[in-house]
Structure 1
Amino acid sequence: MPHSPLRFGVNYTPSQGWFHHWLDFDLDAVRADLDSIAGLGLDHIRVFPLWPLFQPNRTLIRPRAVEQLVQLADAAAERGLDVNVDGLQGHLSSFDFLPAWTQTWHRRNIFTDPDVVEGQAEYLRTLAAALADRPNFLGMTLGNEINQFSGPPHPDPDPITPEQASRWLRTLLDACEEGAPGRLHLHAEYDAAWYQDDHAFTPAHAARIGAVTAVHSWVFNGTAQRHGRTGTATEHHAAYLIELSKAWATDPHRPVWLQEVGAPAPLVPAEHAAAFTEATVANALDCEDVWGVTWWCSHDVSRSLADFPELEYSLGLLTNDRQVKPAGEAIAGIVADRRGTEYRPEPRTTALVVDTGDDDTAPRRSTCAPGGAFFEAFARLTADGARPTAVLASQVGNQEHLAARGITDVLTPDQVR
């Protein structure tokens, strides 16, 4: 069944100072940014406090920083924008932001050390409680792709097991719920959770823990390199992740939030960003149970800031001086066309069997990655117009599960030619 209303938003990247704007918080500049976002017709933003600035000591959560976050949320409300807050930043655009009390002389595993986890819980609980009475507060995301700290390719990882990852997720989501009961609290990982065999954060975690499943779709992960800018697998990558996530969901209609998706240059050149945006969103909205689409990102990163990967400078829907770019025009057009229409895609009746071994730990999940047997078979079916979804091998004989999802035809990857 559809989960309505379908939401369209953007990950808010401040035009002045990027996320370092928290150091010199300027509410007027924030308001101007939010005006430009609201002008695209969007209804929500995802916001990123920098963890070391908000909690510089394990027992110090700066009241002034929390107050500024609330001011930002109130400014968003004035412009009709709801707010989701990512707490543990964590990692953003190739930079890590971890507080000193977890590093060097105080080096502790951020997922398993009891004092660190207690400090994280108090921090998330405090942010959630500060916003709990705001009607436009959607809820908390634990952090931005914080799973990247749990193993390779991070240069200094905090290794954990899937069981430890599960405990960490549940502990911190409970803290968010204590701070703001009944809101949409979730966690979000980058695609190693779906594609990397030995990664501690698993598809089962993503699809079974938290209020919704979040997927982050980036075609620079080998998809666009292998299939090209207009390849079926590239333009359908977001839709693929949405459908892949459903294989592990125990709720047949669990909402899925496409929480990050963008048009990365040079794989998607600037002159093709609008077309890629239109195709990606259209294909994602051909999936059932989509909670919403939140584009990365609102504003370009200023060229005055050094050392970002080149693609990070140009991902905005708006320029650094708040001018709408072609991708922004495309998103605004999609929002305008969808306004007042019902979101009700047809069920996907053909399911491709995904076999990653044990369902909980998915030891063979690289089959789902670009170049993997499942990924490539899914792309071939999609190119043939089959509109596939995914089903776990363990569920193929479960007629109740198949019926609840509307699946009438099941194929294995080796049956796809």
Structure 2
Amino acid sequence: MRFGVNYTPRVGWFHSWLDLDLDAVREDFEQIAALDLDHVRIFPLWDLIQPNRGLIRPAGLAAVGDVVDAAAEFGLDVNVDALQGHLSSFDFLPAWLTTWHERNMFTDPDAVAGQEAYVRALGAELAGRSNVLGLTLGNEVNQFAARPHPHPHPIDADQAEAWLVRLLDAARRDAPGIVTHAAYDATWYDERQPFLPRHAAELGDETVVHSWVFNGAAQLHGGLGAGSARHAEYLVQLAAAWHTDAERPVWLQEVGVPVTVVDRADAVTFLEHTVRNASAVPVLSGITWWCSHDVARSMLDFPPVEYDLGLIDEHGRVKPTGRAFAALARELRDAPAPAPATSAVVLEDDGAHRASCAPGGGFFEAWVRAAERDGRGPQVVLRSRAKDTAQLARRGITHLETAGDGAGTGVPVLSGGAAATMLP
């Protein structure tokens, strides 16, 4: 199990890439390493490194390499995001994609070729550095593809897949480590979203999920209710349902304590419950907490939630959540692999189903009821795969139940390794 943080520079936030101070970066990394964490995820701003489609700044690429090398000084591995893109409510698309040069970033041939060139150049810069965990195409790039983004670049599911395949292939040519892509939870919860669950579960070297309970989970269930404290666990189980390889890892790449919907006094308890619940899922490969350092109050116009998400405050002091996450990392990193949950809730995946998976949806609420009843979150099985007894056996599932009202109408599916009664 990997335990790390999404690195938010304490001084200057991500604007610090404009005038990179490696001594300040080293101070931040020393604090992170002191929490016994093993990796950071970093976010070079795309518009600074590729300000023109034909210009990929060598100095910008070198700065990324310098930050990776600085992390190595403190024993930290690094995952690098490429197309930044979007961070904390701000967009950083380069000027050659906007206003007078507006073009669809996913389908315009010149735009995609420019992105491909950048991803390859970034991968080449990272090549040969032994502490590179891998490269992610970008931070929640799917949010550009549909509403509620105010200026979406609309595409369909086939176009989303073509874009992913091309850029993932480009990254694999040069970048070391694992190659992934990251979506916010509309992929799992919103029918408008052209980036689909199967894209997350089939493309890239690991399936990536981002868990945020301000999406309705905490509003409906309270900050410490099962629908909140198990939301990350739920997303990992939901993602795994789409895997054809039962051993494929799921990376909880973002999760944090939003004190706008979780009482500040409950922040440590929320963190502890979230981490322990998610860590009970065998396919989980790691947790990368959002984030390392609080956004400084001198930085203006951020949504209120963004100022308090760090494990370390803006003055460099470790917060109670930081101490709690460090203790859990030490305890769980080398713990024995957990056994899989033997029960599973069946998701009707024929036709539109994603709203049902969102907080407040029928499937989500049925899963939460089952978790409260059993004290552990069940696995998820797609209806289209519910009769695949070999796959169920590989996943350790012996009991299926429907997601109807009052979940608990269970049907045994395996007994002593042999096929038994199946759901209709």
Structure 2 length normalisation: TM-score?
Answer: 0.94
**Matches of 1:142 and 1:324, distance apart in 2:** 30
Unaligned runs of 5+ in 1: 1-5
Aligned partner of 1:226 among 209, 212, 220: 220
2:358 is aligned to 369
2:339 is aligned to 346
2:74 is aligned to 79
**Matches of 1:230 and 1:320, distance apart in 2:** 26
Name the amino acid aligned to 2:338: P
Name the amino acid aligned to 1:344: A
1:400 is aligned to 390
2:312 is aligned to 318
**Matches of 1:151 and 1:266, distance apart in 2:** 26
Aligned partner of 2:8 among 10, 13, 25: 13
Aligned partner of 2:369 among 380, 384, 391: 380
2:236 is aligned to 242
2:298 is aligned to 304
Structure 1 length normalisation: TM-score?
Answer: 0.96
Aligned partner of 1:261 among 252, 255, 264: 255
3-state secondary structure, aligned to 1:9:
strand
Aligned partner of 1:416 among 400, 407, 416: 407
Matches within 5 A, 1:150-165: 150-165=145-160
1:271 is aligned to 265
3-state secondary structure, aligned to 1:343:
coil
Q: Tell me how far 1:336 sits from its aligned partner.
A: 2.1
3-state secondary structure, aligned to 2:311:
coil
Preserved CA contact (<8 Å) 2:230 2:377: no
1:3 is aligned to none
Q: Tell me how far 1:198 sits from its aligned partner.
A: 2.6
1:133 has 2:128 as partner? yes
1:188 has 2:188 as partner? no
2:26 is aligned to 31
2:274 is aligned to 280
Name the amino acid aligned to 1:306: L
**Matches of 1:314 and 1:236, distance apart in 2:** 21
**Matches of 1:269 and 1:65, distance apart in 2:** 40
Name the amino acid aligned to 1:291: S
Preserved CA contact (<8 Å) 1:356 1:367: no
Preserved CA contact (<8 Å) 1:378 1:388: yes
**Matches of 1:314 and 1:144, distance apart in 2:** 20
Aligned partner of 1:292 among 283, 286, 289: 286
Q: Tell me how far 1:153 sits from its aligned partner.
A: 0.4
Name the amino acid aligned to 2:111: V
Q: CA RMSD in A?
A: 1.0
Preserved CA contact (<8 Å) 1:352 1:388: yes
Q: Tell me how far 1:167 sits from its aligned partner.
A: 0.6
Q: Tell me how far 1:246 sits from its aligned partner.
A: 1.0
- Alignment: residue pair count: 406
Name the amino acid aligned to 1:416: A
Q: Tell me how far 1:269 sits from its aligned partner.
A: 2.5
2:90 is aligned to 95
Per-residue Cα deviation, 1:303-350 (whole angstroms, up to 9, x for no partner): 1110000010110000112110011010111122235x3331111111
Preserved CA contact (<8 Å) 2:294 2:308: yes
Aligned partner of 2:210 among 216, 224, 235: 216
1:356 has 2:349 as partner? yes
Q: Tell me how far 1:266 sits from its aligned partner.
A: 2.0
Name the amino acid aligned to 2:97: T
1:390 has 2:380 as partner? yes
Preserved CA contact (<8 Å) 2:156 2:194: yes
3-state secondary structure, aligned to 1:185:
strand
**Matches of 2:336 and 2:184, distance apart in 1:** 27
Preserved CA contact (<8 Å) 1:128 1:139: no
Q: List structure 1 segments (4+ residues) > 6 angstroms apart after TM superposition.
A: none
Name the amino acid aligned to 2:407: V
**Matches of 2:226 and 2:118, distance apart in 1:** 42
1:200 is aligned to 194
**Matches of 1:378 and 1:46, distance apart in 2:** 31
Preserved CA contact (<8 Å) 2:349 2:384: no
Q: Tell me how far 1:271 sits from its aligned partner.
A: 2.0
**Matches of 1:269 and 1:62, distance apart in 2:** 44
Q: Tell me how far 1:99 sits from its aligned partner.
A: 0.3
Name the amino acid aligned to 1:155: P
Q: Tell me how far 1:387 sits from its aligned partner.
A: 3.3
2:420 is aligned to none
**Matches of 2:8 and 2:377, distance apart in 1:** 34
1:251 is aligned to 245
2:169 is aligned to 174
Name the amino acid aligned to 2:71: A
Name the amino acid aligned to 1:407: I
Preserved CA contact (<8 Å) 1:367 1:375: yes
Q: Tell me how far 1:219 sits from its aligned partner.
A: 0.2
